[in-house]
Amino acid sequence: MVRLHLTFPEHLIDEPVIWRFGQEFGLEFNIARANVDATTAWVILDVDADPGRADAAAAWFSERGIKVDRLPDEEDRR
């Protein structure tokens, strides 16, 4: 499991980016937390992926202008 903190630019807030991610990668994911308003948005996304696919997922978001930070998953925080 990989935990990603995604920060969206204002012009992508109304776009179905996470849905597109799911369609393209076919990975299971969970939106663990999120905050969205008219001008800012962030999402913590737990993605069930091996390290190589997690890197590809992070790159996919970055290529679209979304800031990506990797967070420790639940096991790493114990």
The domain limits of the chain are: 2-71
The pLDDT assigned to 45 comes to 97
Q: What is the pTM of this model?
A: 0.89
2-71 CATH pick, 4.10.520.10, 3.40.50.1820, 3.30.70.260, 3.30.2350.10: 3.30.70.260
Mean pLDDT of 33-51: 95
Alpha carbons within 13 A on the beta-carbon side of 78: 2
C-alpha triplet 47, 62, 57: angle, nearest 5°: 30
Confirm if 30 and 45 have CB atoms less than 8 A apart. yes
Confirm if 33 and 43 have CB atoms less than 8 A apart. yes
DSSP type of residue 14? T
The pLDDT assigned to 51 comes to 86
Report the alpha-carbon distance of residue 21 to residue 23 in Å, rounded. Answer: 5
The pLDDT assigned to 76 comes to 52
